[in-house]
Chains A and B, each alone.
Chain A
């Protein structure tokens, strides 16, 4: 089991529904977010391109946050989902510094917080909240080890990229381009 997510940049309109769905689903405090939108414009008028991405923790298979965590609060859970055990987090921020994707923040209650791939939903066979609300169906979540999963099929048939591959973190969030 290797959980992963693919974000279809051709479908994403950057509406932020994923952001607010995550906030309400996971009770993320206002002013913080576990996922966010990036818009990148290239070219000069009128020859322009725009790429829109919904970003979050990349749930890396070689995660620097897990390696740097002194208390093992950051850990791999089932399917490679990277989680933070709140009760063991001392808020030292080593993981925040080590993350090349800037995916983590200090929760007002003192521990480090970030995307969980909505593991509480995934365990029941549901999609993460962001995936389940996306109006354009721009996100696919699933198991890369299952060749028949939607995500495996998308990765096999579409062009894709991951972010900052040179960091060597083996990220599990992909962008269909």
Chain B
């Protein structure tokens, strides 16, 4: 280990070609399992192989089409897949760009020091595995195996998770919880005794009214809901969109409520007030299934639309009209739980209010509301029981985040920075498929945590910013070149979906299962991976559920029957016991009360932008997934930089012109590392600005993405932590305009 002040200088992963390290025997037999496509164009392509997409986490199943030379040509959706219904989104269609990207990581790299300068050197897989095994063993010896953590946001993370568990740690985390959907899972769990899950159990296809609060489907291209919104509206369903921005879906909505940001709770409470006071709620449903209705009624008694108007800027008559619109559609109404909901720090409570509003309208467990999903009961290949860790990440936060159902990526990051009161901090991270520099709020904090590590292993396909801080980089092959676990995600009907390689891995890249197994072998943990290769493991697992690898190679997707006919278990007021303390839907949450949290959600005023500053709102573009697609040649061709949306009134005040570049500076004096283009548009409120997340890359090795647009993550330095579950509220940051660069930042 180097003794530099900055033990871990950021290294731009430079000029590392594929070494002559490729294995003599191919990993896959490409003569097996590939079939002729029924729509084969003579001379154009020869085969198609099944996959499920890895560009986002909807994991749509599809077919990879290859031509006669075995070159990947295109990816299309799988007809039998409930996630895609035969149609991929632009990212899935452009997935081939991930495979073709010439900037991909090409061979294992190990941090070294030459003449006082830190750099990476090419390494063999064996060297890299030895380095990692030695480093992990050292951490275990000095601090205990529990001081290792895995951050994963990709399918390959499952294998590294097993490696970590075999090693004696269960600190396995994903930013998709505390930085994204955690509060809604906790809010719904506290209400219904069940979470929302992914894909969300919303029956948009058959709904009559869909209420979106900040969700921007169409720009967020989660495929299933976007398709179903189009189907539902064609059948006459109405949409109510609550958003400070005139989003794409706002333009398709019967009602657009351009709410003042950070006041959504007031709107939700006022809606409940109207629905209760006008007697619009589903009385039979509420009486049969819910607990605490009278408490709720008293709680919202004074929360009139007039009260909410002063907070939200939404007119009282609009609040009443939209409440009636929902009630008219009841029970075929969805107040959508959203997905990225870590906004203001009281997010669990806001999502509780969403869950409660659904309950008043009787939509949970009903057609056109929330269905009861089912997934295949899948058995993993047998292995010895994992050792039981003596500590978990939660020990670092005594008495806090009591309702967190999953580990917190931000929590593990925080607990990596040593403090006097904490006897063990994290010492080793494995990071798979998540660019934590852009993913976690407060970059300075993330980098400080990384500097405290003894070992950081990054597994990725691309030289993302996080790779520059790694001690070892393992180049993963793309999803088009590898097997992963069978997809068994829940849906209206249970399905299996196979991902298998459509081409040999390019360069000296490998699949995650092969890496994790190889490291386990090095560490004497090989018996936890008792299969010889992935095909043996998948075939055994598939045979337990009545299929086989051979069958799945042919089918790609297999639909199974539901175990019970209970897709809509409350459709006709059937008896049902909920997994809550009272066995009822808890409008008044006894679990929240027991843990010392508010049993009924309260409106709390949030900080407002200081003069000359605007609330920073961020979101998604349909052709990109976070920062991971920013260098994909096909997708970058569709959108290669983000812009900052500014209301014309604000533009006039600052004399801003369309397409002008400027820097953003936040309330803490942090300036965006890169400039961003101005988009003057009526589609945003005057008190906010908006930008698409995932741009502003600083690693020069991302040749298409480098320096294009700006990163919102740079500017999210203030985080409001959700006391119930530790979510990181990120919408409490304010920016102003700056016409020159900040101080030079060495990345």
Chain A residues engaging chain B, CB cutoff 8 angstroms:
10-11, 13-17, 19-21, 23-25, 30-31, 33, 41, 43-46, 48-50, 52, 120-121, 124, 126, 132-138
Contacts and interface: CB of A to CB of B under 8 A. Distances in A.
Contacts of A33: 637
B709 to A, nearest CB: 17
Contacts of B93: 17, 20-21, 24, 133
A23 B634 CA distance: 8
A26 to B, nearest CB: 10
Nearest to A11: B230
A84 B255 CA distance: 46
Interface in B179-196: none
A64 to B, nearest CB: 28
Contacts of A13: 217-219, 226, 230, 248-249, 252, 622
B252 A14 contact: no
Contacts of A126: 39
A24 B221 CA distance: 19
Closest 10 pairs (CB-CB, A-B)? A13-B218, A50-B251, A136-B230, A15-B622, A17-B90, A24-B74, A20-B94, A45-B682, A46-B258, A16-B638
Contacts of A46: 246, 256, 258
A30 B227 contact: no
B contacts with A: majority SS: mixed
Given A16-B90, A20-B635, A41-B682, A50 B248 contact: yes
B41 interface: yes
Contact of B230 (A14, A45, A137): A137
Given A133-B77, A133-B87, 18 more contacts: A11-B233, A13-B218, A15-B221, A16-B622, A17-B622, A19-B638, A21-B90, A24-B94, A44-B682, A48-B246, A50-B248, A124-B39, A126-B39, A133-B76, A133-B93, A136-B226, A136-B230, A137-B227
Given A16-B622, A135-B226, A138-B230, A24 B87 contact: no
10 contacts: A15-B218, A17-B88, A20-B94, A21-B74, A24-B75, A52-B248, A133-B76, A135-B88, A135-B89, A137-B227
A41 B221 contact: no
Interface string B614-648: 00000000110000000001110111000000010
Nearest to A18: B90
B106 interface: no
B87 A134 contact: yes
Interface in B471-518: none
A27 to B, nearest CB: 8
Given A14-B622, A48-B251, A30 B88 contact: no
Nearest to B94: A20
Taking residues whose C-beta sits less than 8 angstroms from the other chain, chain B's interface range is 35 or more
Contacts of B88: 17, 133, 135
B739 to A, nearest CB: 25
A162 to B, nearest CB: 22
Contacts of B75: 24
A14 B246 CA distance: 14
A30 B73 CA distance: 14
B234 interface: yes
B94 A11 contact: no
B637 A14 contact: no
B341 interface: no
A120 B44 CA distance: 11
A45 B233 contact: no
Contacts of B622: 13-17
Given A16-B90, A50-B248, A23 B230 contact: no
B223 interface: yes
B97 to A, nearest CB: 8
A132 B75 CA distance: 12
A132 B41 CA distance: 16
Nearest to B226: A135
**Residue of A20, A23, A52, A133 ringed by the most chain B CB atoms within 10 A:** A20
Nearest to A31: B637
A20 B248 contact: no
B667 interface: no
Given A10-B233, A19-B638, A134-B87, A48 B227 contact: no
Given A13-B226, A48-B251, A20 B246 contact: no
A106 B234 CA distance: 39
Contacts of B234: 11
A52 B230 CA distance: 14
Contacts of A133: 76-77, 87-88, 93
Given A16-B90, A48-B246, A48-B682, A23 B637 contact: yes
B426 to A, nearest CB: 39
A91 B639 CA distance: 28
B638 A41 contact: no
A15 B87 CA distance: 13
Interface string B207-251: 000000000011101010011011001100000000000101101
Instruction: Count chain A CB atoms within 10 A of each CB in B73, B74, B217 and give the residue with the most.
Output: B74
A42 to B, nearest CB: 9
A133 B511 CA distance: 29
Given A13-B248, A23-B634, A120 B221 contact: no
Give the residue among A10, A17, A41 with the most B Cβ atoms within 10 A. Answer: A17
Q: Most chain-A Cβ atoms within 10 A of its Cβ — which of B219, B251, B633, B684?
A: B251
B683 interface: yes
A134 B639 CA distance: 18
Contact of A24 (B41, B96, B681): B96
